[in-house]
Amino acid sequence: MPVERSSAGDPARTLELLWRVPADAPRRGPRQRLSIDAVVDVAIDLADAEGLEAPTMRRVAQGLGVAPMTLYTYVPGKAELLDLMLDAVYARMPRTNTAGRPWRERLTAVAEENRALFEAHPWAAAVATGRPPLGPGLMAKYEHELSALDGCGLDDVERDDALTYLLGFVQAHARSAAEAREARRDSAMDDEQWWAANAPLLARVLDPDTYPTASRVGTAAGTAHGSAHSPAHAYTFGLARTLDGLGALIERRVPGAGPGEGRRR
């Protein structure tokens, strides 16, 4: 399946749309009765309900009650529309005021904000954003999230690296959680039911003497989580280890920062 990526459309036109820059020349023809925001809202609703393949130009036009060709007078194509969708959900994210709190709490808040974003809009986690849409929503998000690293003694490059590292973990978790939801939906069974149904066959073919460590550890993890994989546990464990890794760097920059103190601003 082709990977959807941001900034795949015409860069100049995309930036004009993201920042709502008026066209240089007045548009001929009938007066436009829609808005870019209305187009984006319908596309987001489709993606939330049916996935990233749903908001085609034709489907969005149908949702707006216009002919598909009419939609192209607002947005050139699906690539530009995707950037507008991403920037819109970035702009609408709640932003926690963590001023004065330890750095570990600030970064945890950033992680939770992005986790909530991907839970509300799972399609956003599936988009490759190596070239992010540089719209007002993204820039406000970036500014807010960088402030969580105030007082940590990091230079500008390290600050960007640290944020990228944290958000990469959250996005990877969101993709894994989405895959787990799809597996439950497709099999019509939760993980516990699936393992119970397959345990008899597994017991016949798996020799614990051949795979002693795998058998022991797998049994312990399955018993603890009720399945081979618990997305909630993986998030909690992984976030703690991600912050531990950043803590090692911050401790070198701000001796005595401890488990999440740092300088407070």
Residue labelled with tokens 């995309």: 14
As a whole number, the mean pLDDT across the chain is 90
The alpha-helical segments, DSSP class H, found in the chain are 11-18, 36-50, 57-64, 68-71, 78-91, 103-120, 122-125, 136-146, 156-187, 191-205, 212-225, 231-253
**Contact assessment for residue 260 and residue 103, using Cβ atoms and an 8 Å cutoff:** yes
Q: State pTM to two decimals.
A: 0.89
Q: Encode pLDDT of 152-163 as tens digits.
A: 999 999 999 999
**Residue-wise pLDDT tens digits, 23-61:** 765 555 456 789 999 999 999 999 999 999 999 999 999
Selection from 43, 24, 38 nearest residue 83 by Cα? 43
Domains with residue ranges and CATH for the chain: 11-90 (1.10.10.60), 98-190+227-253 (1.10.357.10)
Q: Left, alpha or beta for 224 (phi > 0: left; psi -120 to 50: alpha)?
A: alpha
